[in-house]
Structure formats: structure tokens, C-alpha cells
Chain A
Amino acid sequence: MSDLFTTHLPALIIAIPLFAAFLTPLISRINGKGRNFVVIVALLMTFILTIKLAWHVYTDGTFLYAFGSSDASGFALHTPAGYVVPIRILFEIDAMSALMGIITSSLALLGAIYSWNFVEKYETQDKYYTLLLLMTVGMFGMVFTGDLFNMFVFLEVLSISGAALVAFRTEKGASIEAGLKYMIISSLGAMFMLFAVCLLYGQYDLLNLAALAKRMDYTLLDEIALVALIGAFAMKSGAAPMHMWVPDAYGEAPASISLMLVASTQASLYALFRVVFTLYGAHIDPTTIGWLFIIFGLLSIMVGVSMALMQDNLKRLIGYTAVAEIGYMMLAVGVAIASMGSGYSLMALKAGIFHILNDALDIGLLFLVAGVLFYRTGARNLAQLGGLARNMKYTTFFFMIGLAAVAGLPPTNGFASKLLIYESIYLFNPVLAIIAILASIFMLAIFVKVFHSAFLGPELPSLAKVKEAPPSMLIPMAILALVMIIIGLFPNLVYSTIVCEAAKALLDQGGYIAAMIGGA
């Protein structure tokens, strides 16, 4: 019995939030609190199942799931003899996908708990929760799938629900505008991706990632497809030249959705790495693609930091720093590709992947704090805030932790991964490391300014009666802060186990192919 349960874990992780998504409108007819409870329970179950799945992946190796097959765990094809094209939809969960799954499910769970009080005054809550769950489904699908077209479908599920949630506050013109912008950018990106899928399908009659990787000839058309795929996913992850939707979407979405959007940019980043490492793997020219990523990364860091300095809207400011943080990951992975084969290449890749996890926690925590400030004061501008530390002890403390983590100060997780990034980049090119460290110092300056103007200083008369955040909002922030400090103090808890395995899995193209179709 338990064996059957284990076999169908990937399908359950997708099915539970999907089922709950369409159950919520029905339950909210009966009871609003009951619906919130069902959403949280569904996401909690998903979280536990993801942990269980990740446990299996880390102990027994890559996990395969074939939809609609009598033998779901194996690759049993009932096709005519001699026909070797895999036509089933296959999920392949390796260590990297498992890491992304853990990030997705934990952020979704925390976002749902946070939403309990945060969106209570809106009448359209039932739709909010449906869309939140669909967004979770989209992210899970993107990180688990082993099929390119399937990835496109989940990308669109993610984009549509995400855009609707960005435009959630329909009483404001600016949020609808941000939602439309996000929708247009994501649809255009998705169309580029579909075009690339067509190019690959036209040549190889395949949609399966592993089978495509095995047959890849790297013709001119494949190169065009690679460009389209990199463009699409870089656009969705908000890397610098295509970052214009990020501050709008982050700034206008409810804080819990900003948290989910952080996870969605990470999922796109995962798709980008999966395409470059697994689909193209050894075929790409390390110098060209590596430097392309490094340039994306440097641009993101510079644009993000310099634009964040000028913002006075708190959530837009954090949005720009999120762009800069994406830049750090691109930079580290770019260095890893460009220095492929050298001793520090793997270290740079590990640092980049470690930073994916840490960035999701840091930026997520800062968005949640910004959400608390908006919830309690209704203010979005830094000029309208001041002296909040008197009334909001815990929130202030959590903001300080988030600040330290984003700026890369010990004892937080940001320090652990940023130090690794600096170290590995320095071995590749000292100038890049200097730019990265300078940008971190700028980030510290930005957030110290925010900290001073929002939490310190004289108490504003209008904010004298501000109360501390309700428990449903404090708990997610406390969990995030605790995890961040634990990772900061004992980085090896996750680094030497989960992160290193993920980096190895991403590099191991042959292993990915062998797990799917055998005999690489």
C-alpha cells in the first residue's frame, strides 16, 4: 500500500492543490474560515508529500513518473515494436527539481497562512485562493515535468493565475495595469517557448527532454530554439534587460502574491538552467553562453541596485532588489558555465543554486514585512512611515533579519551563499567579484535607509495607534526568519546535502537521460 502511495507521489503533489483549487469556491459558499482552513490543509499536505518525495530522491536517486501507464514508476511503453519515441507525459524529479519543489511548496504554504488576515476584507477571496492554488500547481508542474510541451502548459497556468492575482486589487488602475503588463510579457515569452518547442519537434519528433537531449545534433535550428528558450525564461525570471514588469508586478500585487511571484521567477530560472544544462548540455559553447549569463547577471545587479536607490515605494524598492538578487544567481551560474571544467566551476554552480534557496527566503520575508506595514498603516510610501519600531517589535526584528540576509551579513543565510558566490567569482575574474560585493554594500545602504525611515525616527502622529501584526502574519515571518538564521549558522545542514546534490544533478546530463530512457 505504502509502495503504491510512494509511486504516485508526483501525481498527488499536483493533484491535491488542483483539486483544492476548484473545491474552494464551493466551500466558500458555506463558510469563509472553512475555506481558508481547507486551503492551508491542502498546501500542508502538499508540503509533507514534497518533503517525502525529496527524501526518496535524495536517498534512492531520480524519481520517474509516467502518467497513464500501468507501471507508473518505470518507463513501460505499450507501443508498436521498434517504436522508441516516448509519447507519454513523464515527470522526472531529480535532486534539482526536488529542491525547487521544496521551495515552491514552503512559500505557497506560508503565503496561504499569511493571506488569512491579509485579504480578509476583500469580497473576492474565494477566487484569490483558487488562483493561489493554481499558481502553486503551475510551479510544481514546471519544476517536475520532463516534457517540453508540458512545461509550456504549466508555464501558462502559472502566468494566467499570476497575472490575475497581480491585478487582484481591481479598485486601483495601477494594479490592473501591472497585471496586464505581466500577462503580455508572460504570453509573449510562452509563445517564444512554444516556437522553440515546434522547432525541436519538427526536427526530432520528440517532446521529451531526455530523449531530445540524447538525439540533439545542435543544428542551426537548435541554436535558434536555444535563443528563443533563453529569451523566454530570462523574460519570465525578470533578468535585467527584460525586468520592466518586475517592479510593477511586485509593487502592485498583495504581499503574499509577491512572495509567490518570487517563487515563480525561481521556477523560470530553474527552467532556464534545465534547458541549458540538461537539454543542450555539452553542445553549448561555454564561453558564449557563460558570458551571456554573466552579462545578464551584471546588468540585473546594476539596474536593480541603482533603481532601488531611487524608489520611495517600499514594495517597488524590494522588487528592484529582487531583480538584483536574480542577477547574483545568473552571475554565479554564468561563471560556472564559462569556467566549465575548471576546479571552481562546480563551486560557482553550487553557490548559485544555494542562492536560489536563500533569495526565495530573504526577499520573501522582506515582502511579507512590507505587507504588514501596508496592512496596518495603509501606507505604501516611505515618506508616510516612521517610528514603527515602538509598536511593532517583532516586525522590526524580522525586517532586520531580512535586511542582513539581503545585504549578505552574518549570521544569516544570505552571508553563506553570497560568500560562496564572491569566492568562486573571484577565482574566475576579480573585477566581477568586486562589482558583486559593491552591489551588496549598496543593498545594505538601501535597506538601512528604509529601516531608518520606516522603523526609527520620531513617531508620526497618524501612526501612534498602529498595532503589531496579527498572528497569522507573524507566524510565516517567524518561520522564514528562523529558517534563515538556522541556514546562516549551520549552512552545511542544507549546503552539503541538498544543494550539492542538486548542483551535481544539474550537471549530470547523462544521468538524467539514463534515468528516463536508459543507457545514455
Chain B
Amino acid sequence: MLANLPFLVVAVMIGLGLYTMLFNRNLIKIVIGLTIIENAVNLFLIALAYKNGAVAPIYTSAPSTSMVMPTPHALTLTAIVIAMATTAMMLSLIMQIYKHYHTLDAFKIRRLRE
């Protein structure tokens, strides 16, 4: 049970993120929801990579020969960089939206556009 705790946390975080995205009208909060989902997926990858008693795959004076497969960590690093880029992109778009409409409420923006 305890070993599955990270996966439960991932499920809860994805649920929270989706809830945040669906039930908030503030654009920044929608982006926060997306970031929570991104982090949940990264946590999922890291939790998958865990191997009991294994060491990092650095061959110089390694204490044991059971090593962790580094692929998920590499994937996580890539995913983090991509997530940063998308978040920066979305926040800069939101800044531009605020300059145009002087509000971040998605409903008010829709009304202003008409």
C-alpha cells in the first residue's frame, strides 16, 4: 500500500489540476492547473523509475552493480524543460491579454470581445 503512495498522489494531483482548469475563470489559475498536471506526470515518471536498493548509473567506484535505468530521468528533464517553455509562453500571452482587456476573467473577456 505504502509503495503505491506516489501513484495515488499522482492521481490526486491530476484530478486537482483538471478541477482547477475546469472550474476557474481566472486565466492564471487555469495555467496553474495545467502546471499541476505537468508536475503530476513528472512525478509519475520519477516514481516509476525508483528501484529499491539501486544506485545511480555512475560506474566510477559504484558500491553495487544494481543500477537504476536512467531513461525516465532523462525523460523527466526533457518534460520539465518543455513544461517551462509552455508555461512561459502561456503567461506571456496572458500578459498581452491583460494589456488589451484589463481583466483576467475569461467570461468578461468574452463579453468585451463582442
Interface residues of chain A, those whose CB is within 8 Å of chain B, are 87, 149, 152-153, 156, 159-160, 163-164, 167, 170, 172-174, 176-177, 179-180, 183-184, 187-188, 190-191, 194-195, 197-198, 201-202, 205, 207
Contact = CB atoms under 8 A, between A and B. Distances in A.
Interface in B38-71: 38, 41, 44-45, 48, 69, 71
Given A188-B21, A191-B37, A195-B14, A180 B82 contact: no
Highest count of chain A CB atoms <10 Å: which of B27, B78, B96 = B96
B11 to A, nearest CB: 10
B71 A183 contact: no
Given A198-B44, A205-B69, A177 B37 contact: no
Interface in B70-104: 71-72, 75, 78-79, 82, 85-86, 89-90, 93-94, 96-97, 100-101
Given A173-B97, A176-B100, A160 B79 contact: no
Nearest to B18: A188
Nearest to A157: B82
B109 A177 contact: yes
B14 to A, nearest CB: 7
A180 B93 contact: yes
Contacts of B78: 149, 153
Nearest to A194: B41
Contact of B100 (A87, A160, A173, A183): A173
Contacts of B71: 87, 201, 207
7 contacts: A167-B96, A173-B112, A183-B86, A187-B90, A194-B41, A201-B48, A201-B75
B90 A184 contact: yes
Given A170-B96, A177-B113, 16 more contacts: A156-B86, A164-B89, A173-B101, A176-B93, A176-B96, A177-B97, A177-B109, A180-B94, A184-B90, A187-B38, A191-B34, A191-B38, A198-B48, A201-B48, A201-B71, A202-B48
Nearest to A87: B71
A200 B2 CA distance: 22
A201 B109 contact: no
B107 to A, nearest CB: 13
Contact of A174 (B31, B38, B45, B113): B113
Contacts of A191: 34, 37-38, 41
A149 B27 CA distance: 29
B89 A173 contact: no
Interface of B: 14, 21, 27, 30-31, 34, 37-38, 41, 44-45, 48, 69, 71-72, 75, 78-79, 82, 85-86, 89-90, 93-94, 96-97, 100-101, 109, 112-113
Nearest to A166: B93
A205 B70 CA distance: 11
B86 A180 contact: no
Contacts of A153: 78, 82
Nearest to B100: A173
Contacts of A190: 82
Question: Ordered nearest first, which 7 A-B pairs have the shortest CB separation?
Answer: A173-B100, A180-B93, A202-B48, A176-B96, A156-B82, A187-B86, A198-B44
A11 to B, nearest CB: 19
A510 to B, nearest CB: 26
A160 B85 contact: yes
B100 A198 contact: no
A89 to B, nearest CB: 11
Given A156-B86, A174-B113, A202-B48, A187 B34 contact: yes
A188 B69 CA distance: 28
A167 B97 CA distance: 11
A198 B48 CA distance: 8
A422 to B, nearest CB: 39
Contacts of B37: 188, 191
Max chain B Cβ within 10 angstroms of own Cβ: one of A176, A180, A184 = A180
Given A167-B93, A177-B109, A198-B48, A184 B34 contact: yes
A33 B82 CA distance: 33
A188 B82 CA distance: 13
A184 B30 contact: yes
B27 to A, nearest CB: 7
A476 B90 CA distance: 33
Contacts of B86: 156, 159-160, 183, 187
Contacts of B97: 173, 176-177, 180
A317 to B, nearest CB: 18
Contacts of B14: 195
A284 to B, nearest CB: 24
